[in-house]
Structure 1
Amino acid sequence: MELTVHFFFNLSLLIVILFFGVLWAEKSKRFWSHQAIFIILLIISLMLCFIFTYRIEGSNVVFDLRKIPFIVGSLYMGFGPFLAAFIMLVRGFFGIDYGFWMTVLYYGGLAILFWRISSWFLKQSPKQRVLFSVGVTFLFSFAQTFTMGIWHLPHSSTEVWFAYLVIQPIGVGIISYIIEEIIMTIQLRQRTMKSKRLEAVERMGAAISHEIRNPLTAAIGFVQLLQNDSISKENYTQYLSIIKNELKSAERVIQDYLNFSNPEIKSMEPLLLQEELEQVVQLLQPLAKRNSVKIVSMFSPGEEIEGDKQKFHQCLVNIMKNAIEAMPKGGILTVETESTQTTVSILIKDTGSGMTLEQVTRLGEPYYSTKGSKGTGLGITVVYSIVRAMNGTIHVESKIGEGTTFKFTFPSLTPIFLEPEIQETEKELVMS
């Protein structure tokens, strides 16, 4: 049983190496590095087989499992000639004798055969590949036992037969099955990712098409009205204004898509946070007034971050506008800042309807909008893209019926603790 235990231990090491090789290949992104990883994996496996050899006392016959990595690498990777050359090289260090020339003849012939049939082998079904690998291992193991003349060895011939005709085919079968499962998993993952990409593109295309078609349809309608010679000058001016607004609406959708596709910020500049926030709050006051929303501002003076002014304003406008629209019956929108030694955070809180955990999780998907058919989801996606480009992060908390809090965190250019300056802008708005 000593030979059997020895072979099973060696086989377990080969399987462990295969596992770590798969993890290594999983982290690698380039095809050429995958090939290099598998070559290194096979060489390490062959070296282990040479290290964990089993020599029968009273004879010059040495048993090992080098056939397993050789057959697997030759059939699945097409590395037969390279592996055979490596085996011959290592075997040569043990002496140029009868065993060396048998190794050259045996593995040289197998390398040429496997190299010729490797492309045919890979075209077969997974089940056929596993069965073929096991069958080939059994046949050549059977042939090798005769060339070694094991019946003349001072050792249990039954154990040797078992080691060569059972353990080696089983080892090749196990490793082949693992490889097939890995291949199937990778292919399934690739198909799933491709399907998700196509689904995202289709939904985004449909959403963008819908958003652009609506203002263009309205604009075309009013252009047709302008062709009427009997139209009054007052209506003419009104229709032109409507057409202009609709075209601007279509332009905004296109710009959102362009910002989503290319969120890279080419030029960064220091931004005084209080000043930028006050500008955005002032800009949104009319919209807040129409929705009976009171804006409360609490800013820490002197805080600076680095970014693009126009894109930063776009982020804040998108989030605050959504927050105001989430409070159609009125509410409070709080905009405040928090500072640490290295970061500065902007908190935008509303007292609106809030979102579910699923809605919060899906925020940022290009085709997902909490507004249903009224939105494309591109606005919030652009926000996420720009914040990432400015080396910032976004954290969202929300509860149904209680409101939502967006927390933007950026690296600070002024790591100084300052007391926040409370500037409460209250607009007592009359609900009409």
Structure 2
Amino acid sequence: MGTYINQNLLNNLFYILTSMFVYYFIYDHRKWWKTNSRHQQWFLIVCTAIPMLLCMKFPIYIADNCVHDLRQIPFLIGTLYGGWTVGSALLILLLAVRFLFYGFQPITVAVYITMLIIAAFASPFFRRMNRTNKLVTSVWLTFFLAVLVTIIAVVFFDFQVIDSYIVDFIFIPPFAMLFVVYIIETLKDAIIMRSKLVKVEKMEIVSQLAASISHEVRNPLTVVKGFLQLMKSQTIPKETQERYMHIALEEIDRAETIISDYLTFAKPTPKKEEPLLVEQELERVTHLLQPFARMNGVHLVEKCQPCSIIGNAEYFRQCFLNLLKNSIEATPRGGTVTISCSCKGEEVVVTIADTGIGMTVDQISRFGEPYFSTKEKGTGLGAMVAVKLIETMNGTWKIDSEIKKGTTITITFPSAKTRG
């Protein structure tokens, strides 16, 4: 076996495989090659010509009177994947180098012209095959060509066939071809799959944005619906009715703002930071969600001390609208949701506590992930946006929960005095 497989044989394989890795590495990082077939052909010529010439320069010494190499593998690879153009260029280069260094030999011309004609005709069919068929075809085509050109050499050029030649020229090349084609197809599939994955991720982001916008617009629409139901279900003074209408119109304006400005959530940079009176902002949010809480039979309680932070008012309201709405939806009828805020040293602590269904440890760890929700029809996008907005305003959050006993979310912000 050592007679047949030696260092020179392994070196020839190394030249071929390295060139294919280089081809797909550069191909993957140069977009203009992917869209220009002429550039691809020239690059394939270079990446198959180099190992072909290296195989000729460092051949396999089978015996004292028999020298061989694996030049036919890059030659066939280039012809099968590149067709007549690549194959013809490789043939001219091969013959030119062969004649320059070793002189003219008719057997070389006959052997490689035969390989070019058959491989080039097979090329269009080969390129349309799937990976399995390509592997099978490459093995049998290489074996067939090795046998065919050997018969031509013996019949027309009185070539002497020895055992080492049969092993190294007829049996080893098909297996080497199998290995090389498998590597090529695997690299090509990896590039294609990665390209498809990038497209899928982009589509998922678009889908997530669309779902998020829909989810966030639902909040002000829910408030509007609650006020309209209150106005319809009972006789209320005209003054109160006008106040409800004013709030409803404000919420419709807020929905319009969310639609036009929602992409800012993807870039965590607030439009405008200003001192916020936390108790007033939370009172406003609580007031907006009172109709929704009543619809769900939940008591919404506010207990706030005067506190102030530096942040974006729109982001702050959006964040606590999402969190409070989630708590209300997680609380059964007759339950209570309490929102409170207090100043503790240089921090402002906001707490939302409900008497709802609670969360498991796994659910707590996944809180804020897109498309994860404890609700049957929830998307998890409201919590995702809320978490992002908390982090945008330099806040932190923590969840304590127990199944069937309720959940407490604690959000901590730096006070305005600290940031000032």
Question: Which bracket does the TM-score occupy, shorter chain normalised?
Answer: 0.5 to 0.7
Match of 1:32 in 2: 33
Q: Distance in 2 between matches of 1:84 and 1:406?
A: 73
Counterpart residue identity of residue 2, structure 1: T
Please give the secondary structure, in 1, of the residue aligned with 2:146.
helix
Q: Distance in 2 between matches of 1:294 and 1:96?
A: 98
Q: Distance in 2 between matches of 1:151 and 1:362?
A: 79
Shift of the 319–233 alpha-carbon distance from structure 1 to 2, 3 Å rule, reads: closer
**Shift in Å, 1:171:** 0.6
* Alignment counterpart, residue 163 of structure 2, candidates 147, 153, 158: 158
Does residue 144 of structure 1 match 2:149? yes
Q: Distance in 1 between matches of 2:285 and 2:199?
A: 42
Shift of the 201–94 alpha-carbon distance from structure 1 to 2, 3 Å rule, reads: same
Q: Distance in 2 between matches of 1:172 and 1:161?
A: 16
Counterpart residue identity of residue 104, structure 2: D
Q: Distance in 2 between matches of 1:175 and 1:256?
A: 53
**Shift in Å, 1:175:** 1.7
Counterpart residue identity of residue 250, structure 1: A
Counterpart residue identity of residue 15, structure 1: L
Task: Return 5+ residue gaps in structure 1 as ranges.
Answer: 300-308, 338-346, 409-419, 425-432
Task: Return 5+ residue gaps in structure 2 as ranges.
Answer: 287-300, 328-336, 354-358, 402-407
**Shift in Å, 1:53:** 0.7
Counterpart residue identity of residue 97, structure 2: V
**Shift in Å, 1:137:** 0.7
Count of residues in Structure 1 that have an aligned counterpart in Structure 2: 372
For residues 306-333 of structure 1, what are the alpha-carbon distances to aligned partners after superposition, in whole Å with 9 as ceiling and x for unaligned? Answer: xxx9xx6665665577678889534567
Contact 1:8–1:167 (Cα < 8 Å) also in 2: no
Match of 1:11 in 2: 13
Please give the secondary structure, in 2, of the residue aligned with 1:292.
strand
Contact 2:349–2:410 (Cα < 8 Å) also in 1: yes
Contact 1:74–1:111 (Cα < 8 Å) also in 2: yes
**1 or 2 for the larger relative contact order (CA 8 Å, sep ≥6)?**
1
Provide the aligned C-alpha RMSD in A.
Answer: 5.5
Does residue 175 of structure 1 match 2:171? no
Length-normalised TM-score, structure 1: 0.61
Q: Distance in 2 between matches of 1:203 and 1:235?
A: 39
**Shift in Å, 1:139:** 1.3
Does residue 54 of structure 1 match 2:36? no
Aligned pairs (5 A) from 1:232-243: 234=239, 237-238=242-243, 240-243=245-248
Shift of the 260–94 alpha-carbon distance from structure 1 to 2, 3 Å rule, reads: farther
Does residue 93 of structure 1 match 2:100? yes
Counterpart residue identity of residue 14, structure 1: I
Does residue 278 of structure 1 match 2:275? yes
Aligned-residue identity in percent: 24
**Shift in Å, 1:103:** 4.0
Does residue 377 of structure 1 match 2:381? yes
Q: Distance in 2 between matches of 1:145 and 1:63?
A: 13
Length-normalised TM-score, structure 2: 0.63
For residues 181-230 of structure 1, what are the alpha-carbon distances to aligned partners after superposition, in whole Å with 9 as ceiling and x for unaligned? Answer: 3444445555555555555545654554465478669879999999xxxx
Shift of the 258–107 alpha-carbon distance from structure 1 to 2, 3 Å rule, reads: same
Contact 1:369–1:375 (Cα < 8 Å) also in 2: yes
Aligned pairs (5 A) from 1:315-394: 328-330=337-339, 363=368, 365=370, 377=381, 380=384
Contact 2:279–2:305 (Cα < 8 Å) also in 1: no
Match of 1:412 in 2: none
Contact 1:320–1:348 (Cα < 8 Å) also in 2: no
Q: Which has the higher helix share?
A: 2
Q: Distance in 2 between matches of 1:167 and 1:291?
A: 82
Contact 1:297–1:335 (Cα < 8 Å) also in 2: no
Counterpart residue identity of residue 165, structure 1: I
